[in-house]
């Protein structure tokens, strides 16, 4: 019985623990650990980081004033003076794209955050208290979800009037029902959990239970949704501005830059079409990669 | 089942009523009305003339009265008159429906034809080079704005063929229709094909992990039969849902694509009418879109129950 091959192979405890992430402590180290496990997500994180840094340090990266017009440079092709060329009014495209990152970042982050914030409150209240509040919230969600995202954002943006703040509000509204639905359904199941019952037995007030015990447990799915909404919000802003109902002139919005150039420049000045679109696509690509990784990390059940 | 259907229709009625209030209020909140836009175009403002136009269009009535007038007429099938062309709104909207429907049809065909098979291949060959390549393609499909893709396609056509297939009148043959609609449909369909591909892939992977698949493999069923007969049929259920929902929601992508390709469909008309503050057109178009979305959602749920005997709708 004691001879022969051991039934259980010796386990290399250190390797196993390292694979499970036991050595991971603190923020920096856990980001590195996850980056190694999700290389595509790491690429996304790098793209998003470059995007954020571009927006923050725009004045140092831009070669020209993004709003300065120069009739002599009208439709100048890419070259040493204008790195990516210039538009019809002779404004430097490189500088406009650099400053455009600010618009995209501000609109994307604020509208995703605003939508998620309202969505969490609405979802928590309607899921935790139920009753007639829940009934009304559900019907409003139905109404908001009966229009495609862009149609709803379009009507909202038009009715609020063109401005930066109004564009943010218009884009955040279609986000609310999505978030509210997710938070509501997880609140419904959390409400029945033993730890909530225990808190209630202890005499904790309903408000405190909702905020201290239920809310923190909905954070993971909300973060997953928020990252996904970031890219979607940037795309919606670009589409609205492309249609002339988003960010007004003279702000250099990427979508607006494409609508100025649109069809007629396809023949005459292709750089005006290629570069702003490339910027939009790259940033959304980055947020999508990052969003997938965040979902895999926070919600292991839904592995892609 | 019957009571479920009745309940669903009541909920749909509530949703559509809410939508009518929402769109009506939003339109009245918009800065300026059609009279302002007209005068802005003319470059001067004549208060008497402006008041006359507003009175003629009923814009001076109390807002509740305006709402009741609109919904009352709508209930009798009267869509009113376009403020801009002064023709009946039905005459403006109806001829555009087939154009957008054809475009949506081609786009949906494109997205299903590419999305479903590529998603299946990606799942069957999970974690191979092919899978990674396909996943990157689908991720980029979700990242490219469809209006930019449309512009790139136009650019490629100009460069290599020196022409752009432009919509001029209803195409006469199916082939002509294909030529005119193929490019915009591809621009819109790429995004939904990416979505369908991702969903097909994850749904396939989910099913391939199931016990009955292991049983099928264990009893020696060939791979092809396990993948395509046992797995695919079950994996298609959620895919059917997303295809249905995409069908209704394609109109979002169509707005920008119709604008780029200059196609006189519903989606572009909606934007133009919003810019003109052409209330009767916008109100009725939005209601039309909402009706389509609500009915498609209902149809998808019914189809789901028909395809999956485990699903029973009650109460």
d(CA A218, CA A124): 9
What average pLDDT score do residues A209-232 get?
A: 88
- Residue A303: the pLDDT is 44
CB of B154 within 8 Å of a chain A CB? The answer is yes
pLDDT at A261: 59
Which chain B residues in 75-94 lie under 8 Å from chain A, judged by CB atoms? Answer: none
Outline where A162-250 has alpha helix (H).
164-172, 175-191, 194-201, 206-208, 219-242
C-alpha dihedral sign at B60, B65, B71, B72: negative
Own/partner long-range contacts of A246-252 (Cβ < 8 Å, ≥24 apart): A246/A157, A246/A162, A246/A167, A247/A103, A247/A107, A247/A162, A247/A164, A247/A167, A248/A162, A248/A163, A250/A67, A251/A103, A251/A164, A252/A66, A252/A67, A252/A91, A252/A96, A252/A97, A252/A99, A252/A100, A252/A103
Domain B97-307 has CATH 1.10.3720.10: yes
List of residues 6+ apart from B36 with CB closer than 8 A: B50, B277
- Digits of tens for pLDDT over chain B (315 positions)? 788 889 999 999 999 999 999 999 988 888 778 887 777 777 777 777 778 888 878 787 888 888 888 888 888 888 888 888 888 888 889 989 988 988 899 999 999 999 999 999 999 888 888 998 998 899 888 899 988 998 888 888 888 887 776 777 777 777 777 778 888 899 899 999 999 999 999 899 888 888 888 888 888 888 888 888 888 888 888 888 888 888 878 888 888 888 888 888 898 899 989 888 888 899 999 999 999 999 988 988 888 888 877 777 765
Q: Which residue would you say has higher pLDDT here, A284 or A247? A: A284
B177 vs A205, higher pLDDT: A205
Backbone angles phi, psi at A189, to 5 degrees: -80, -35
User: pLDDT, tens digit, for every residue of A141-158?
Assistant: 999 999 988 999 999 998
Which range is least confidently modeled, A50-59, A166-175, B213-222? Answer: B213-222
Interface test with B, best of A153, A246, A266 (most B CBs within 10 A): A266
Question: Which residue among A143, A161, A270 sits closest to B155, beta carbon to beta carbon?
Answer: A270
Note whether A146 contacts B16, CB cutoff 8 Å.
yes
Output the pLDDT for position A260. Answer: 66
Dihedral over Cα of A180, B194, A297, A113: its sign = negative
Q: What is the pLDDT of residue A304?
A: 40
B122 within 8 A of B131, measured Cβ to Cβ: yes
The Cα B216–Cα B211 span in angstroms is: 9
Mutation target among A41, A43, A137, A147 for the B interface, most CBs of B within 10 A = A147
List B81's β-bridge partners, or say none: B88
Mean pLDDT check: name the lowest of A94-98, A114-118, B38-42, B232-236.
Answer: B38-42
Residue B81: phi and psi, rounded to 5, are: -115, 145
Helix axes A149-160, B232-261, angle to 10 degrees: 40
Residues 113-132, chain B, touching A (beta carbon < 8 A): none
**How far is B296 from B241, CA to CA, in rounded Å?**
10
Q: Which two tokens stand for residue B109?
A: 């065909």
Which chain B residue is nearest to residue A302, measuring alpha carbons?
B202
Structure tokens at A7: 């039934």
Question: Hey, where are the domains in chain B?
Answer: 97-307
Q: How far apart are CA B262 and CA B242, in angstroms?
A: 28
Q: Which residue has the higher pLDDT, A248 or B119?
A: B119
Q: Are B22 and A146 in contact (CB under 8 A)?
A: no
Query: Does position A230 have pLDDT exceeding 50, yes or no?
Result: yes
List all residues of chain B from 5 to 24 with a beta carbon under 8 Å from chain A. 11, 14-16, 18-19, 22-23
How far apart are the C-alpha atoms of A87 and A71, rounded to whole Å? 10
Identify all chain B residues contacting A136, using CB atoms and an 8 Å cutoff: none
Residue A1 predicted with pLDDT over 70: no
- The pLDDT of residue B235: 86
Q: How many CA atoms are closer than 13 Å to the CA of A162, on its beta-carbon side?
A: 17
SS3 (DSSP) at B88? strand
The beta-carbon neighbor of A156 closest among B26, B148, B151 is: B26
At A13-49, the pLDDT tens digits run 777 777 776 666 777 777 788 888 888 889 999 999 9
pTM for this predicted structure: 0.87
Instruction: Work out the minimum CA distance from A281 to partner chain B, whole angstroms.
Output: 5
Residue A163 scores a pLDDT above 60: yes
Is the ipTM beyond the 0.95 threshold? Answer: no
Query: Cβ contact (<8 Å) for B255 and A277?
Result: no
- Each as own residue / partner, the long-range contacts of residues A7-12 (CB below 8 Å, 24 or more positions apart, any chain) are none
Cβ–Cβ under 8 Å, residues A151 and A239: no
Of A151, A280, A292, the CB nearest to B251: A151
State yes or no: pLDDT of A301 exceeds 70: no
Quick one: pLDDT band at residue A298, thresholds 50, 70, 90? Answer: confident
In chain A, the residue whose alpha carbon lies closest to the alpha carbon of B250 is A148
**Closest CB to B252 among A142, A149, A258:** A149
Q: Which residues of B touch A159 (CB under 8 A)?
A: 26-27, 29-30
């Amino acid at each position: 019985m004691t001879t022969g091959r051991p039934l259980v192979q010796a386990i290399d405890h250190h390797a196993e623990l390292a694979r499970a992430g036991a050595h991971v402590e603190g923020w920096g180290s856990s980001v590195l650990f996850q980056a190694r496990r999700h290389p595509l997500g790491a690429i996304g994180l790098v793209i998003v980081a470059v995007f954020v840094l571009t927006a923050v340090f725009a004045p140092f990266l831009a070669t020209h004033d993004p709003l300065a017009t120069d009739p002599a440079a009208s439709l100048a092709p890419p070259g040493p003076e204008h790195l990516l060329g210039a538009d019809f009014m002779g404004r430097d495209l490189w500088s406009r794209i650099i400053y455009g990152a600010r618009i995209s970042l501000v609109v994307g982050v604020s509208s995703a955050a605003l939508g998620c914030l309202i969505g969490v409150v609405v979802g928590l209240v309607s899921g935790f208290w139920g009753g007639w509040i829940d009934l009304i919230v559900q019907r409003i969600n139905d109404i908001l979800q009966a229009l495609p995202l862009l149609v709803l954002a379009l009507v909202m943006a038009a009715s609020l009037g063109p401005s930066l703040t109004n564009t943010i509000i218009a884009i955040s509204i279609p986000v609310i029902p999505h978030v509210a639905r997710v938070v509501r359904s997880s609140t419904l199941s959390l409400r029945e959990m033993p730890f909530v019952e225990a808190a209630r037995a202890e005499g904790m007030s309903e408000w405190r239970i909702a905020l201290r015990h239920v809310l923190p447990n909905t954070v993971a799915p909300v973060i997953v949704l928020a990252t996904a909404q970031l890219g979607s919000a940037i795309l919606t802003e670009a589409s609205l501005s492309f249609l002339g109902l988003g960010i007004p002139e003279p702000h250099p919005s990427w979508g607006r830059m494409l609508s100025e150039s649109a069809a007629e420049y396809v023949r005459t000045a292709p750089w005006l079409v290629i570069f702003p679109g490339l910027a939009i696509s790259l940033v959304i690509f980055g947020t999508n990669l990052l969003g997938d990784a965040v979902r895999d990390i926070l919600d292991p059940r839904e592995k892609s | 089942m019957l009571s479920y259907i009745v309940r669903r229709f009541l909920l749909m009625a509530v949703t559509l009523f809410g939508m009518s209030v929402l769109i009506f209020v939003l339109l009245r909140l918009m800065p300026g009305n059609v009279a302002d836009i007209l005068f802005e175009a003319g470059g001067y403002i004549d208060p008497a003339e402006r008041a006359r136009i507003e009175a003629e269009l009923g814009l001076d009535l109390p807002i509740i009265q305006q709402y009741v007038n609109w919904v009352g007429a709508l209930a009798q099938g009267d869509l009113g008159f376009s403020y801009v062309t002064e023709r009946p709104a039905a005459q403006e909207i109806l001829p555009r429906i087939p154009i957008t429907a054809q475009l949506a049809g081609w786009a949906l065909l494109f997205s299903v034809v590419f999305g479903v098979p590529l998603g299946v291949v990606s799942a069957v060959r999970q974690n191979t080079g092919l899978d990674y390549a396909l996943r990157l393609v689908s991720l980029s499909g979700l990242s490219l704005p469809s209006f930019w893709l449309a512009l790139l396609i136009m650019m490629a056509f100009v460069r290599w063929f020196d022409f752009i297939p432009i919509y001029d009148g209803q195409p006469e043959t199916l082939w002509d229709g294909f030529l005119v609609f193929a490019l915009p449909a591809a621009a819109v369909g790429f995004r939904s094909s990416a979505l369908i591909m991702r969903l097909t892939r994850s749904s396939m992977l989910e099913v391939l992990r199931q016990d009955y698949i292991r049983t099928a493999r264990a009893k020696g069923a060939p791979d092809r039969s396990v993948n395509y007969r046992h797995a695919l049929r079950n994996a298609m259920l959620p895919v059917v849902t997303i295809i249905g929902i995409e069908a209704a929601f394609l109109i979002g992508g169509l707005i920008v694509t119709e604008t780029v390709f200059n196609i006189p469909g519903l989606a572009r008309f909606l934007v133009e009418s919003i810019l003109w503050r052409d209330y009767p057109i916008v109100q009725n178009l939005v209601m039309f879109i909402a009706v389509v979305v609500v009915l498609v959602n209902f149809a998808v749920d019914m189809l789901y129950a028909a395809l999956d005997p485990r699903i029973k709708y009650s109460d």
